Amino acid sequence: MGNDLSLLILAKYGRSGPSSRYRILQYIPYLESHGFSCTVQSLHSKDYLETVFSGRGKSGLYYAGRLLARAQASARATHYSAVFVQKELAPYLPPCLELMLSMMRSKVVYDIDDAIFLQYGESRNFLVRLLLGRKIETAIRRSTVVLAGNSFLKEYAARYNRRTVYFPTVVDTSKYAAARAAREGGIPPVGRARSDGLASGKNGEIPVVGWIGSPETVRFLEEKADVLRAVSRISPFELRVIGAPSSAISGLEAKCVPWSEESEALELARCDVGIMPLPSSDWIKGKCGLKLLQYMASGLPVVSSSGGGADSIVEHGVNGFIAVSDDEWRLHLVSLLENPELRNLMGRQGLARVEERFSLAVWAPRMAEILTKCIRGEPVEEMEW
């Protein structure tokens, strides 16, 4: 074994993958500054998501090579004090690597921020259900500690491992500080003047409603097209779509921009309201509300569907609104678009909420504490507020 705080991180993606970036990679600077030695092995290459979203896909040789590298990294787990496993070690394969870590008596911190157990247990393919239906359950049972991204995931994981603790997705609020200052000071406008002369956005422009996500999830935004068009007829706005440059909703003035880690904070600072429309399903219940945290860290009020982590993040009527029906979506969006003072008040409340409950500054020490206790074999208790 290496030094007492050596950590092998088996992530699914590199920094281009939001789940890996926010669930573990953003913690590395803090961990290393507090005595940890971190080694990262990502299952997928840095261009994987870009390739998949473009529709080109990857070859069988690519997957074989990446799985071999994952197996080799897992086999070296005995050289580390603990292993951090994000999501799963080998998608759509039996939990052989998880069982290997258990047989080697590695101390494993297993992180779950999606309802990935559903893709196996509720698959339409009988063989997938038969062979992999209990895969995630097995991984959880064999882990030393389980980190669950929300209450739905915690309830599931706790059935199989009593050492399950709540660990939300969080953001580094300092990353958005410069963009917030630019927003408050007046960054270059992105909208156009209202024809009725009643401008209520930044710099005399119509307000900007922002959405951030991937080409895979933009369909949730497009499903609210009728609602957004109805709102625009009452209170004109520009829709800013960050991360899905090919998206288009007819009848709306929209600006679609590509996502990059370097530009996302500034793009969000150009917005006045952030939205997170979602359907209702068990899969959505496993989401952890990253969009909302990014909006609120940017000082934006939010309108969100219920679920997807929203119910623990949004204080309805304080820092944003939870909208269940289309009528509620129209009501809350119009209310925010027509009332700059309300937007500013809710934006400040949202930022305070994130800084207190969902910030890297709060949870980085907690991550270090959990890893240290895992290594020492000490029990991990829930965080008290």
Look at the chain and report how many structural domains it folds into: 2
Burial class (CB in 10 A: 0-12, 13-18, 19+), 341: exposed
Asked if the structure places residue 233 within a domain, the reply is: yes
Q: State whether 243 and 342 are in the same domain.
A: yes
Q: State whether 40 and 78 are in the same domain.
A: yes
Q: State whether 339 and 243 are in the same domain.
A: yes
For residue 83, the 8-state DSSP code is E
Q: State whether 244 and 306 are in the same domain.
A: yes
Give CA separation, 88 vs 96, 97, 207, 209, in Å.
11, 9, 41, 35
Angle between helices 60-75 and 96-103 (to 10 degrees): 10
Q: State whether 184 and 276 are in the same domain.
A: yes
Give the predicted TM-score (pTM) of the model. 0.91
Strands 273-276 and 6-11: unpaired
List pLDDT tens digits, range 18-66: 999 999 999 999 999 999 999 999 999 988 988 888 778 789 999 999 9
Q: State whether 184 and 311 are in the same domain.
A: yes
Q: CATH code at 231?
A: 3.40.50.2000
Q: Can you give the residue range of the structural domain that contains 305?
A: 173-357
For residue 356, what are its two tokens?
């207190």
Give the separation between CA 159 and CA 148, rounded to whole angstroms. 12
Q: Is 42 helix (H, G, I), strand (E, B) or coil?
A: strand
What is the CB neighbour count within 10 angstroms for residue 294?
25
Asked if the structure places residue 385 within a domain, the reply is: no
Q: State whether 282 and 183 are in the same domain.
A: yes
Q: State whether 372 and 264 are in the same domain.
A: no
Give the separation between CA 32 and CA 252, rounded to whole angstroms. 47
pLDDT at 117 over 80: yes
Asked if the structure places residue 307 within a domain, the reply is: yes
Give the separation between CA 336 and CA 344, rounded to whole angstroms. 9
Q: State whether 64 and 161 are in the same domain.
A: yes
Q: State whether 100 and 195 are in the same domain.
A: no
Give the separation between CA 52 and CA 122, rounded to whole angstroms. 24
Q: State whether 298 and 337 are in the same domain.
A: yes
Question: Which pLDDT score is estimated for 68?
Answer: 97
Q: Which helix (H) or strand (E) holds 276?
A: strand 273-276
List pLDDT tens digits, range 179-197: 778 767 665 444 444 444 4
List pLDDT tens digits, range 240-288: 999 987 777 888 888 899 999 999 999 999 999 999 999 999 999 999 9
Give the separation between CA 207 and CA 344, rounded to whole angstroms. 12
Mean pLDDT of all residues belonging to the chain: 92
Asked if the structure places residue 382 within a domain, the reply is: no
pLDDT at 331 over 90: yes
Asked if the structure places residue 242 within a domain, the reply is: yes
Asked if the structure places residue 381 within a domain, the reply is: no
Query: Mean pLDDT, to the nearest integer, of 315-344?
Result: 97
Q: What residues contact residue 239 under an 8 Å CB cut-off, 6+ apart?
A: 208, 209, 210, 211, 228, 249, 252, 253, 254, 255
Residue with tokens 């789940």: 19
Question: Which pLDDT score is estimated for 318?
Answer: 97
Asked if the structure places residue 383 within a domain, the reply is: no
Asked if the structure places residue 384 within a domain, the reply is: no
For residue 1, what are its two tokens?
């074994």
Q: State whether 181 and 144 are in the same domain.
A: no
